[in-house]
Copies of this chain bind each other. A is one copy, B any other.
Amino acid sequence: MAEHQHALGGKPLTKNQRLVLERLEKTEGPLSAYSILDELRDEGFRAPLQVYRALDKLVDAGLVHRLESLNAFVACRHPSCHSHRMIGFAICEECGSVQEFSQDRISEELVAWARDDGFRLKKTTIELRGLCKTCAEQAPLQS
């Protein structure tokens, strides 16, 4: 299990931030804040706020993403690239897996739309729901 030299605005992670991030990184799919809380009881976590505070910072730093359509969180899988590139998520409704993707042309189109409209864009949420390749292959063919 690799060490974390993750940092947050130059500062190292605090204990709670590290525990939350490690929990997310060890987990394949998304976790809700309350699942994280339950899994960190043994480490001394007692209240939701401990999780939410850590998540806030981790999300700000780009180390964790919030999935709005699930009210859940995943560790960023873009290796060592926690930039704030515009990013999308494909969420499988069968197995719960989440894939990150980033398509420059989509970003460009959204930015162009915002520019043309006078909208000052701060953040984008792009979430696809459906079946991942594996689950789609097992599922009955095209309804």
Identical copies of this chain, number = 2
Q: Which residues of B contact A136 (CB under 8 A)?
A: 118-120
Which residues does A use to contact B, with CB under 8 Å?
68-69, 88, 90, 92-93, 99, 101, 103, 105-106, 109-110, 113-114, 117-133, 136-137, 139
A-B contact pairs, 21 of them (CB 8 A): A68-B69, A69-B125, A88-B113, A90-B114, A90-B117, A90-B119, A92-B119, A99-B119, A101-B117, A110-B126, A110-B128, A118-B136, A119-B130, A120-B131, A121-B128, A122-B131, A123-B128, A123-B130, A124-B128, A125-B125, A125-B128
Q: Which residues of B contact A133 (CB under 8 A)?
A: 117-119
